[in-house]
Homo-oligomer: A and B are copies of this chain.
Amino acid sequence: MELPRGMKDFDMDEMIKIEYVRQIFLKTSKAFRFNLIEPSPIELLSVLEAKSGPSIRDEIYQFKDKGDREVALRFDFTVGLTRYATSQKNLKLPAKFSSFGGVWRYDEPQKGRYRFFHQWNIETFGNLNTEHDAEIIEFTSRFFDNLKLQNISIDINHRKLAESYISHIFESNETTLLHDIFRAIDKIQKKSKNEILQEYKQKGYSPEKLEKILEFSNLKGTPSEIRANFDTDQLAGWDELCILYDLLTNRGIDNIRINFGIVRGLDYYTGIVFEAFDSTSDLGALVGGGRYDSLSKVFGRADLGATGVAGGVERIILRLDE
C-alpha cells in the first residue's frame, strides 16, 4: 500500500528528532512567555489568499468540502494566528503566540522535500515598537542556542530602507517597480550580477540603475561599518534599524549584522525584516521573519501591528545531523 505523491510517514528516528526540537521550542517559548496556540488546519481559501493573493492556489492543497466551500490546508501558521488574533475582541495586548506543527505545500517533491513538513512559529500582536521586533530576534537567537546549534548568524534589515533607495535611484515609488526590484535583490544569492542585469534589461530596467541597487544590497556589517561606506542619512528606516541593532547588542545578541540584501520574498512585510543562517552551510535561510502590520489590516484590524518569525523543523534537523 503506497502513499500519495509527496507524502511520507515520520518514523521513530525522525520523531525523536522532531520531539527534541519541539521540546526546546516549547521551553524557549515558555521562557519568553509566548502562549501555545493551534490554529485550524483547514482554512477558507479566501483567508489564505489574503496573505499572498490568488496565485497561492497553485502552491497549496485546496479543495471543495462536502458543503461546497472552497477550503485549503494551512501552508503556514502566520495566517491562522493573525486571523485568530484579529477575531479576538478582548485580547490582552501585546498578545504573544507560539505554534508548532505540520503544514502542507503543493511543491514539486524533491530529495528530502515533502508536501507535508513541520514548522515552528512565534508572533506578537498589538501596538508594537522596535522592542517587540528585538524580542522576536532575541527569541530566535536563544532558540538556536538552546538547540546547541552553533555558527548561526542573523542578518537584519528594514524593508523601507530598500524601498527608499529604489525610489531614489529610479525616481519612482510605483508598486510594480518596487516588487520587481525587490525580486532582483532576492536573486543575488543564487545568480551572478550580470545574469540579473541582463534579465532585467529585457524587462526595460536600466542596468546602470539596477547595478547601483545591487551594489547597495551588498552592504553588510555594523552600523558604523556601513556608515563608513554609504551615506545613510536619506534612508527611511535606518534610524530604527540602528535602534534595533543597539537593543539586540544590549540583550547580549552578538551574532547579528545589518545586511541590505535581506528584503524577504513576501510582499506583506512593512518594517524590520531578518533571516538567520548557519554560516557553515549553504542550506539557505533557516529562519525568516519581520514586521507585517498590513495583514491584520486586511483582516479588519488596522489597530493591530504584528511581528514574528517562523522556520522549518526538518531544516533544523538536517543541521543537527551534521
Contact = CB atoms under 8 A, between A and B. Distances in A.
Interface of A: 1-5, 7-12, 15-16, 18-19, 26, 35-44, 47, 50, 61, 63-67, 69, 71, 80, 83-84, 86-87, 102, 104, 106, 115-116, 299-300
Nearest to A114: B40
Contact of A19 (B15, B36, B69): B36
A22 B247 CA distance: 37
B4 A42 contact: yes
12 contacts: A1-B44, A1-B300, A5-B65, A5-B69, A7-B43, A9-B38, A9-B84, A10-B38, A10-B39, A15-B37, A15-B38, A61-B65
A69 to B, nearest CB: 5
Copies of this chain, whole number: 2
A106 B65 CA distance: 9
Contact of A44 (B2, B39, B84): B2
Given A66-B106, A87-B1, A8 B40 contact: yes
A40 B87 contact: no
A105 to B, nearest CB: 12
A299 B3 CA distance: 13
A58 to B, nearest CB: 8
A258 to B, nearest CB: 35
Contacts of A102: 41
A156 to B, nearest CB: 29
A8 B3 CA distance: 27
A3 B40 contact: yes
A301 to B, nearest CB: 10
Contacts of A71: 4
A65 B6 CA distance: 11
A307 to B, nearest CB: 19
